[in-house]
Amino acid sequence: MKTFRNPPQIAAPLAAYSHQAEITGPVRWLVLSGQVGMTSAGVLPDDPIEQFGLALDNVTANLAAAGMSQADLVKLTIYLVGEFDLHRRRERLSAWLNDLRPCMTVMTVAALATPELRVEIEAIACADDTATTGSQQ
């Protein structure tokens, strides 16, 4: 169903990601809007790494609502605003991915939808179409 590759003709990935993902067989797709680092109660921490962790948690919650997990991720696009502690960000992401290597793009941008937002994460996942589908809330 999902085969991740790093072709030898291309330089190795700079971090924990894959250059490509090939999807075969009958699958169902999940495309997430950008998830920000805000709690369900609307709390937005000042610390960018806390926002990053909450955004990852929100991706996890969306995956779970569709009967999926991080193992079903195919692509992450991460938008960052301002300075981030690279080591802490990579540590948090590696722990969340747990040795998975989806395709990934990380960008530093000038701003997001509101000035307080420091991170936004888009995700694409796919799973075997016989898997249980989550309910819409």
User: Does 134 map to a domain?
Assistant: no
C-alpha to C-alpha distance for 69 and 61, rounded to whole angstroms: 9
Name the pLDDT band for 1 (thresholds 50, 70, 90): confident
- Evaluate whether residue 137 is within a structural domain: no
CA angle 23, 93, 13 (to 5 degrees): 55
In a domain, residue 135? The reply is no
Bridge partners (DSSP) listed for residue 4: 21
The predicted model scores a pTM of 0.89
Domain count, the chain: 1
Say yes or no to pLDDT of 18 above 60.
yes
pLDDT score recorded for residue 129: 85
Q: Please check whether residue 136 lies inside any domain of the structure.
A: no
108 within domain boundaries: yes
Angle at 121 between CA 27 and CA 20, to 5 degrees: 50
Residue 31's CATH number: 3.30.1330.40
In degrees, to the nearest 5, what angle opens at C-alpha 73 toward C-alphas 17 and 15?
10
From residue 52, alpha-carbon distances to 34, 66, 119, 127, 134 in Å are 12, 22, 6, 25, 25
Percent of the chain with pLDDT over 90: 87
Q: Is 34 helix (H, G, I), strand (E, B) or coil?
A: strand
- pLDDT score of 8: 94
- Predicted confidence (pLDDT) at residue 25 exceeds the cutoff of 80: yes
Q: Given this model, what pLDDT does residue 14 score?
A: 85
In angstroms, the CA 100 to CA 104 distance is 11
pLDDT digits (tens, 9 = 90+) for 82-116: 999 999 999 999 999 999 999 999 999 999 999 99
What range does the domain containing 63 cover? Answer: 2-8+17-128
Contact between 72 and 126 (Cβ < 8 Å): yes
